[in-house]
Structure 1
Amino acid sequence: MDTQTIERTETDERVDDGTDDDGPKVFHYVKKDKIVQSAVEGTHVVALCGEVFPVTKSAKPGSPVCPDCQRIYQSLKK
């Protein structure tokens, strides 16, 4: 059995700007007391929108927020 080397002509010209592409696209609202527990123990949290995930990053001011979480949060504040 012969093997061949196939050269790829595509190039990846993205510049590393220090952001993590593996991070969340939007941030969700979750109960405060569950955030630390999830970060330390690796347990999952449930967001207002129902999404379940482990906390891996904290949102910075201006970060995009899940539209469903935002809508639910706003309705709870009334």
Structure 2
Amino acid sequence: MQTQTIDRPEVDEDVDDGTDDDRPMFFHYVKKDKIAESAVMGTHVVALCGEVFPVTRSPKPGSPVCADCKRIYETLKKS
């Protein structure tokens, strides 16, 4: 009796690539002290706009930012 090995590519099916809907993917403003905890532990964070999600990515310079988060952040900076 022989065993046959079938190669298949590694696929991470849990990755959220933002293609589940027609909305473009934005980065949100969240409390700085919660980012690392969420990335390591998988806990959810709450963005300024109210969106709740686990941190799975880091923004790169020029990444699109949630307009609601940006507007709220600007009003908080003025205070």
Task: Give the TM-score normalised by structure 2.
Answer: 0.70
Match of 2:49 in 1: 49
What is the Cα-based RMSD across aligned positions, in Å? 1.8
Q: Is 1:27 aligned to 2:22, yes or no?
A: no
Q: Secondary structure in 2 aligned to 1:59?
A: coil
Match of 2:40 in 1: 40
Kindly report structure 1 stretches of 4+ aligned residues shifted beyond 2 Å: none
In the TM superposition, residue 30 of structure 1 has moved relative to its aligned partner by 0.2
Percentage of identical aligned residues = 80
Aligned residues: 59
Task: Give the TM-score normalised by structure 1.
Answer: 0.71
CA deviations 1:27-47 (Å, max 9, x no partner) are 000001000000000000000
Match of 1:3 in 2: none
In the TM superposition, residue 21 of structure 1 has moved relative to its aligned partner by 7.7
